[in-house]
Structure 1
Amino acid sequence: MRKSTVILLICLLTILSGCSWLPGLFPGRKEQLPALPDDHQDSANALPEREVVIYYCGDEGAIPGSKHILRQHHDKLSFVTGFWYQIDRSDPTRLIPMWNSPEEEIKDTVRMAHDHGVKVEALFHNLLYGSSAISEQVVTHLLTDRRLSEQLAHNLVELAKRMEFDGINIDIEFVPPSMRHQFTAFVGTISRALRRENIRVSLSVPAKTGDDPWNGWSGGYDYAALGALVDRLMLMTYDEHGWASETDGPIASAGWVERVVQHAVREVPADKLILGIPAYGFRWTSGQKNPVYLDYVTAMGPVWRGEAVLRWDNEAQVPMYRYGGADGALHRVWFENASSSSWKLDIMQRYGLRGFALWRAGMEDPDFWRLVGQKMKAERDRNHK
């Protein structure tokens, strides 16, 4: 073969090996991802203190639960937010334990956390009824009668005392924009009742880059008014592309997260804000309407098996890949790893937010906790019981 032909072939292969649009050409090859900070720290005392929160869940089939994260990384945690209670759709003053968890099982988690100096708040929500329409019906029912709010507030105080919760997290979603003021009043009723008893109140809110009171997803949430009523406002800075997205894309691109934070700090003091960090991903498949929810290990499976090439999206600052399935379908996977989380934690630090909350613990890249230890210390209450 002539020398010029060999050189031409080498150049062609070099060009093709760098093409991000040829996902299966070099299976098993990984692009160079951004490096994490090294393990060396000049002084542990130089690390900033931040509130480190995990959303704590039980096992859900193939989706791992959170108990092992509390056991292994309690020294890096400030708060556990237990995804434990669903509003009863037939009686919105009543709370139903998730996964039919017995009280003693929840109490065991509370004791484990407290033994390690980690505080616990219980989350209640209006989700997982089978459709978003039912979720909206539940919140509409709750907001139309002030007596229901007052009774629920009373029940929450009793629950927190009985279970020794340090706080309550309100995760009410699908609030109709037309009920924006009623929702603010509802949060005020709940918050006043709990805070009178020295029970912390946090509120999880949809992410938004500006305040459009008639936006169908986020219009019902007045950041400024709500932030004044609670101890912490927890920004759900994820699902930029997610369950409802027919097109694939990043779960939380760095630019979008920063725009959400920029809006939030204009409305609420930064030391009340908690940044949501996603630990998961989605797989979109051609011919299917909705994506599949993935933890980190499942998301990395095709890469580890040599079926796909891991890419890094330099605009979104997240990992992703595409590959063809055995059935001929095209799979597109976007997810989060420690490198993408590093960008988000830097945004949290840069804007002086109080801390972050990981949704959901157990789904994350194991390297995430090494990253947290390199960037911050968990804020702890020295007067913790």
Structure 2
Amino acid sequence: MIIHVVQPGETIYSISEYYKIPVERLILENGITNPDNLAIGQTIVIVQPETLYTVQAGDTLESIAEQHGVSPMELLRNNPYLSDREFLYTGETIVINYQTNKLRTIATSGYTFSYIDKSVLIKTLPFLSYLTIFNYRATSEGEIISIADDVEVIQLAKTYGVAPMMFVSTITEEGTIIREVTHNILNNPTVQDRLINNVLQMMKTKGYYGVNMYIEDITSDNINNIVEYIKKASAIFHSEGYRVLVTTTPVMNINGPIVSFEKLDYSQLSGYVDGILFASYDWARFYSYPSSIFPVNVLRELLDYVVSIMPPEIFILGITTLGYDWPLPYVPGATGATAIANNNAIQIAADNNIPIQFNEAAQSPYFYYIDIDGILHLVWFNDARSFDARVRLVAEYDLQGLSLWTIMRFDTQMWFIINTLYYIEKPYASNYLQ
């Protein structure tokens, strides 16, 4: 795999000619939305196909897979645009496999809301092991505010061999964490028992594979209470055959451009759950200083610490798929960022003829631009280089896998990189497309 960084004067056609890959395939494999106006500093992933096949009349995905000794699921990962189709077209060329040297098999998990565009979900499911459906909200009395329209998503996940996970938190529809509710749950055994039973019954009713419990604001003062609660819940869920994950957000200290994390003894949780996921989805939500989303240098510090206190295979690395756009000047406590899709960030750079910069320590791209109102903006986002650097940490540290916040948009280039580097575990038995 080569990550090509667009240089001044280069076009999609010159890059195509240099690597001997058709323009159409470069666009498809990278999800390029600005092929006629590439941004300087934009990245394009180059992976040479090993086997190509020209579709014949009467071919189906299943027949082509059987002919070449691969699974239909693998064909969908290598040609995700086929998920948008009802039929194959005679004469079109598809990739059977690529010239890759995959590192290992990993588990992948994606967060979604139940109202996700079904075409996006279907395109994403071949790449997933687990689908975490957001958000069953716990109340201070231990009741559950249910998601009414998740049944179709659950069944669709299972069709593609993906295990649906029930996400339980105290996060409101507006994205606010009610800490009083969390405190009441952690300090009231009766409420805990009621909540655990309600979660168990909901998993049985809806057909979930397991539960992903979000624990916010872990501190040295409350970690013992959290551990006891997770221990009790996990014992009950495991006895019923359910998988148990815990998601938490590391306590980050962002002092200007300096980012660090608070070291807590997360190992106390590792003996009771099947995976601990560190998320960063709320990175810019609370008016934080403009910075890369979970810089790689900080991630390495976190991973070095985590694997020193607990088995690395329990750890699931969270990756944020979005970028953030900050208006400047930054005013602490007042300036908030807007979430932005990576392709939209690239389009802004291309439209304004602004070269994309790259921070080596953070392994993240960024640029400044001025909007139509004359306001200066700073954009930090993700490209092939930043995804590659983060995804490779799973193999380097021997972690269980990756979790993506969110999969509401399909990031073609990100999944191309993951598919190039790893085999995807499929824990849920399904006879379809396997």
TM-score range, shorter-chain basis?
0.7 to 0.9
Given the alignment, which residue of 145, 152, 159 partners 1:96? 145
Q: Which residue of the partner structure matches residue 111 of structure 1?
A: 155
Q: Is the 8 A contact 2:159 2:430 kept in 1?
A: no
Q: Does 1:254 align with 2:263?
A: no
Paired letter, 1:321: F
Q: Is the 8 A contact 1:81 1:122 kept in 2?
A: yes
Q: Is the 8 A contact 2:114 2:150 kept in 1?
A: no
Paired letter, 2:183: T
Paired letter, 2:426: R
Give the superposition deviation at 1:49. 0.7
Give the superposition deviation at 1:340. 0.8
Q: Does 1:54 align with 2:119?
A: no
Given the alignment, which residue of 261, 264, 268 partners 1:225? 268
Give the superposition deviation at 1:58. 4.2
Paired letter, 1:332: L
Q: Does 1:121 align with 2:165?
A: yes
Matches within 5 A, 1:199-210: 199-207=242-250
Q: Which residue of the partner structure matches residue 20 of structure 1?
A: none
Q: Secondary structure at the match of 2:45?
A: coil
Give the superposition deviation at 1:276. 0.5
Q: Does 1:269 align with 2:320?
A: no
Q: Secondary structure at the match of 2:372?
A: coil
Query: Which stretches in structure 2 are left out of the alignment for 5+ residues?
Result: 1-7, 9-36, 51-97, 254-259
Given the alignment, which residue of 347, 352, 364 partners 2:398? 352
Given the alignment, which residue of 299, 306, 321 partners 2:352? 306
Structure 1 Cα separation of the partners of residues 275 and 175 of structure 2: 28
Q: Secondary structure at the match of 2:302?
A: helix
Q: Is the 8 A contact 1:280 1:293 kept in 2?
A: yes
Farther-moved stretch of structure 1 (318-327 vs 200-209): 200-209
Q: Is the 8 A contact 1:231 1:272 kept in 2?
A: yes
Q: Which residue of the partner structure matches residue 33 of structure 2?
A: none
Q: Which residue of the partner structure matches residue 212 of structure 2?
A: 169
Q: Which residue of the partner structure matches residue 21 of structure 1?
A: none
Q: Which residue of the partner structure matches residue 69 of structure 2?
A: none
Paired letter, 1:181: N
Q: Secondary structure at the match of 1:332?
A: strand
Structure 2 Cα separation of the partners of residues 260 and 181 of structure 1: 21
Structure 1 Cα separation of the partners of residues 38 and 102 of structure 2: 38
Q: Does 1:374 align with 2:420?
A: yes
User: What's the CA shift string for 1:164-207, capped at 9, x where partnerless?
Assistant: 10010001213454222111111112111111101000001223
Given the alignment, which residue of 187, 193, 202 partners 1:150? 193
User: What's the CA shift string for 1:221-275, capped at 9, x where partnerless?
Assistant: 6410111110111122566x52234421101211111111111111221111111
Q: Does 1:139 align with 2:182?
A: yes
Give the superposition deviation at 1:44. 7.0
Aligned residues: CA RMSD: 2.9
Structure 2 Cα separation of the partners of residues 85 and 335 of structure 1: 29
The percent identity for this pair of structures is: 19
Structure 2 Cα separation of the partners of residues 49 and 383 of structure 1: 17
Q: Secondary structure at the match of 1:373?
A: helix
Paired letter, 1:360: T
Given the alignment, which residue of 321, 339, 359 partners 1:279? 321
User: What's the CA shift string for 1:315-368, capped at 9, x where partnerless?
Assistant: 211111111122222111111123211100111111110110011113453211
Structure 2 Cα separation of the partners of residues 160 and 197 of structure 1: 10
- CA separation of 1:164/1:112 partners in 2, compared to 1, >3 Å: closer, same or farther? same
The aligned length equals 339
Q: Which residue of the partner structure matches residue 128 of structure 2?
A: 77
Structure 1 Cα separation of the partners of residues 320 and 287 of structure 2: 16
Structure 2 Cα separation of the partners of residues 266 and 208 of structure 1: 18
User: What's the CA shift string for 1:133-191, capped at 9, x where partnerless?
Assistant: x5211111111111111111111111111111001000121345422211111111211
Q: Is the 8 A contact 1:187 1:226 kept in 2?
A: yes
Paired letter, 2:388: S
Give the superposition deviation at 1:30. 3.2
Given the alignment, which residue of 18, 38, 41 partners 1:32? 41
Q: Is the 8 A contact 1:177 1:220 kept in 2?
A: no
User: What's the CA shift string for 1:265-311, capped at 9, x where partnerless?
Assistant: 11221111111011011111125521112222333341242364322
Query: Which stretches in structure 1 are left out of the alignment for 5+ residues?
Result: 1-13, 15-27, 60-64, 211-216
Q: Is the 8 A contact 2:102 2:421 kept in 1?
A: no
Structure 2 Cα separation of the partners of residues 155 and 170 of structure 1: 13
Q: Which residue of the partner structure matches residue 234 of structure 1?
A: 277
Give the superposition deviation at 1:67. 3.9
Q: Which residue of the partner structure matches residue 76 of structure 2?
A: none
Structure 2 Cα separation of the partners of residues 220 and 266 of structure 1: 12
